[in-house]
Amino acid sequence: MKLNRFILRLLFSTVLCLVVIVVFAQPGNPDTDPDVPITGIEILLAIGGILGIRKVITSKSRRS
């Protein structure tokens, strides 16, 4: 009974270590520069810039 429990723990530990190694493995170095699409950060920055410009324009028109 104790031997089965030891083997089960050893097997679980081995599988867990192998899964961690595979999950944290880094991909290879690509030879070419891959195309990177526009991500959410760039879209949020553009929207923030547009809203800021709009606010400046409306505040100038209220002063006049």
* pLDDT class of 54 with cuts at 50, 70, 90: very high
Q: For residues 64 and 61, what is the distance between their CA atoms, to the nearest angstrom?
A: 5
pLDDT tens readout for residues 16-34: 998 888 787 677 666 666 6
Q: Indicate if the pLDDT at residue 50 is higher than 90.
A: yes
Q: For residues 59 and 55, what is the distance between their CA atoms, to the nearest angstrom?
A: 6
Q: For residues 22 and 27, what is the distance between their CA atoms, to the nearest angstrom?
A: 11
